[in-house]
Structure 1
Amino acid sequence: MTSTPSAQQANTVVDMWVDPRCPWAWITSRWLLEVEKVRPIETRFHIMSLSVLNQGREVPEKYRQGMIDGWGPVRVCIAAEERYGTDVLRPLYNAMGALIHLKQAGLKRDMMVAALAEAGLPEDLVEVADSTDHDEALRASHHAGMDPVGTEVGTPVIHVPGPDGELIAFFGPVITPAPRGEAAGRLWDGVLALAGTDGFFELKRSRTRDAIFD
């Protein structure tokens, strides 16, 4: 029998840290939105930054420009959150992700302006893209998500309350394409079972396909 959210059952808040430019985080976020339809969860988005994560590291040449351009979108997201609250990140991230990953709109000003308009936010927020004024808040958000997971991970990162109220923080799941319907729910059940097992740290295999956004 399919489990469905109930008005009488409080939703579990699932906190997810994303960088809008990460395709794997985008797919995982689409999966969580599917899980919301079949399990009593509510996804709350937060911002991490691949540019912060990889600052000072040697990265392949093909990724270097992305590290530079990637500052703008996360700064705009943090500025929007500071002005309007965390709830605003859901529509803004959805808008940015759709433009970046589905429409190949890039990471520049035009994409950010379009995403702000789609999310019903003022265009002036784009002016922070080239400013360091919000970087302290950006780094604080980044570390709030990443530090509980540990080193050598990227995005997506997810935090959920464990069965005894303790925080369970984990990297992933990295999937493609995003499962739908009850298949999404079954994956959620399995991820929670693994993440909540004392002493469990890693389950991994090499990726054999590129990101699929359908």
Structure 2
Amino acid sequence: MAENTVDFWFDPTCPWCWMTSRWIKEVETQRDVAVTWHPFSLAVLNEGRDLDPDYRKHIDNTWGPARVATAVAEQYGQEKLDELYTALGEQIHHQKNKEGTYFEKAIEVALAEVGLPTELAQVAFTEEYDEQMRASTSAGLDSAGGDDIGVPLMSINGVTFFGPVMSPAPTGEEAAKVFDGAVALASYPGFFELKRPRKVGPIFNTEK
């Protein structure tokens, strides 16, 4: 059994979630940690909300990747879900492949890269896995205790919180030190929030 557990809820289209997930992937190489990935839908989170028109258009486009991630989780399990998220993130955030109504070009490339049927990209246009996607999204929010947050959303040893938000994602021993700090904060029942204004946008490291 791993020394620490992490449950990580992600929407593949969120750049901040992507940054935090790459930190967790780095932590996997530095610490004894078991990570479980969970699809999360920003489209579901923002249903019925009064949003800026441009942001509403973006949110409406995010259905596809979350739907396909959910389908892969249901059909193929954690290993392939992990691989798909990495491939999707590379396409969406590094290659800026945002073609199509629901990011379907990025989805097709990512599916092919991880050896999954590209036909799964059609799930982006259906509600076939929406029940499971909504349940996964709700599970993350319920674990955190409210719906006034989004992603990155993670649970460390059973304690769920939004974040951490970081740019760029730390690597090597620095990633491990940051994780140790997060574990320490999560271990204190009275800890709820630690925040400061962002001064930079997402800084994507090009090295894999």
TM-score relative to the length of structure 2 = 0.92
CA distance in 1, matches of 2:45, 2:2: 34
Q: 4+ runs of 1 displaced by more than 4 Å? A: none
Alignment partner, residue 158 of structure 1: 154
Aligned counterpart for 1:197 among listed residues 166, 182, 188 = 188
- Please state if 1:136 is matched with 2:120: no
- Please state if 1:101 is matched with 2:93: yes
Superposed counterparts of 1:1-214, under 5 Å: 10-106=2-98, 107-149=102-144, 150-161=146-157, 167-214=158-205
1:8-64: CA deviation from partner (whole Å, max 9, x where unpaired):
x73533110000000001000111111112211132211011101111111122211
Cα shift at 1:96 = 0.3
Cα shift at 1:116 = 0.4
Cα shift at 1:174 = 0.3
Determine which structure has more spread, i.e. the larger CA radius of gyration.
1
CA distance in 2, matches of 1:109, 1:49: 16
Letter of the 2:152 counterpart: P
Secondary structure at the counterpart of residue 143 of structure 2 = coil
Unaligned runs of 5+ in 2: none
Secondary structure at the counterpart of residue 29 of structure 2 = helix
Letter of the 1:35 counterpart: V
The CA RMSD measured in Å over matched residues stands at 1.3
Report the CA distance shift for 1:122/1:182 in structure 2 as closer, same or farther (over 3 A): same
Percent identity over the alignment is: 45
- The 8 Å contact of residues 4 and 33 in structure 2, kept in 1 or not, is answered as yes
Alignment partner, residue 6 of structure 1: none
Unaligned runs of 5+ in 1: 1-8, 162-166
TM-score relative to the length of structure 1 = 0.90
Cα shift at 1:112 = 0.8
- The 8 Å contact of residues 49 and 74 in structure 1, kept in 2 or not, is answered as yes
CA distance in 2, matches of 1:200, 1:51: 29
CA distance in 1, matches of 2:6, 2:123: 28
Letter of the 1:82 counterpart: E
Q: Size of the alignment, in residue pairs?
A: 201
Letter of the 1:153 counterpart: I
CA distance in 2, matches of 1:43, 1:148: 16
